[in-house]
Amino acid sequence: MIQTAFPYLTILLFIASTLVYMEYKTKAKLFEYLPAIVILYFTVMTLSSLELWTKTDEINSAYKAFKLNLLPAMIFLMLLQADVRKILKLGKKILLAFFLASFSISLGFIIMFALFHNLFEEGSWRAFGALSGSWMGGTGNMVAIQSALELPDSKMGYVLLIDSIDYAIWVMILLALVPFASRFNSWTKADGSLLDTLTSNLDNSEKKEPTDFPSLFMLLGLALMVSVISQTLASYMPTTSFLTQTTWIVIFATITGVTFGMTPLSRHSSASPLANIMLYLIVALIASRANFAELTEAPLYIVAGFMIIAIHGTIMVIFAKLFKLDLFTLGVASLANIGGIASAPILAGAYHKALIPIGVLMAMMGYIIGTFMGLGVSKILMIIAS
């Protein structure tokens, strides 16, 4: 039975690092359907359910300190990789498709929750609010919103269940539709030359600087300083029941990350591994407070997730017909929101390897807007619940 902070944190880091290493080295099929970060959550939650550690004052203090201080640093590093200027080069139709996807996902959450919110337990709007951040951005946005909404860690199991099961099936559907792209494009009367023009216009000549110790160390120091400054500024801001101090911290870190993403710092590849290390530790910390016994409504949440995707997919097909969008643009815009950087480039590559950068840039855009859009959806869900 662990009762002190150091072994508690060490075990979490060890499990996270082992899973990441296994995913990278083995390339096992399991990780295609259950990413390491999802397996991490349920592995740590299992150990928590078995009471491998107890919630002593020391462990509680370590948990709060690490989670609160790493969150804004992780957000900053995550957004440092998203250069708005490159994203704007995607063109009007690609950007339109992306925001239509975000809009339709938002509507999916709102319609589903308006119809069925009475079936869920009190406060469930927070769980769906966190999920909306993930489905319009990525796991980092989900964690940011979870903290901003003060969603109990025990309820994050619902979010990750939907995010893994429903998302995996949606990815398989979109990949299965690739051979039917020409038929779909004929039906929507999409312009087939758009992607060729877009690929040639994107400037991919700028190379990332290799990971090295000085830049790694500098970015770590800068990210932690951003965390300190964000927390300091947030302490002076007015708060409400929705706009808490943690919400302000998330907002300040997001704005700082987007701003620095337009500077030469965005070329440092060291930001990505640092952000991922922090993200995995934060997810492990969240899972360490959860318990399987608390996931009593899991099937209902999974069905709700499929309903959200069904609404999103239907609206996107209607928009495709109205705006003459091709299946590639539609599918990658959807996955750039719901799947993020992990899956949008894969779908783009299924059409043509030259289109992979488009999937990457669209997913990066999700990092930028995911937190703000998710907080907006959360506010509407809170109003519906009340």
pLDDT tens, 26-69?
888 788 767 788 888 889 988 988 889 988 999 999 999 998 89
pLDDT confidence tier of residue 205, bands split at 50, 70 and 90: very low
Three-state SS at 238: coil
Give CA–CA dist 41/72, Å, rounded. Answer: 20
Q: Where are the domains of the chain?
A: 5-385
Cα–chain center distance at 110: 19
Per-residue pLDDT averaged across 191-217, rounded?
66
Q: CB-hemisphere CA count at 13 Å for 12?
A: 28
Which pLDDT value is given to residue 252?
A: 92
In percent, how much of the chain has pLDDT > 70?
Answer: 93
Residues 322-343 have pLDDT tens digits of 988 889 889 989 988 998 776 7
Residue with tokens 């950087």: 341
Does the pLDDT of residue 203 top 60, yes or no?
A: no
Rounded distance, CA 17 to CA 36, Å?
10
- What is the value of pTM for the model shown? 0.80
Number of Cβ within a 10 Å radius of residue 285: 22
At 261, the pLDDT band (50, 70, 90 cuts) reads confident
Q: What CA–CA distances, in Å, run from 375 to 29, 68, 76, 128, 142? A: 34, 18, 18, 11, 10
Query: Is the CB of residue 110 less than 8 Å from the CB of residue 380?
Result: yes
CA 21-286-143 angle, to 5 degrees, is 85
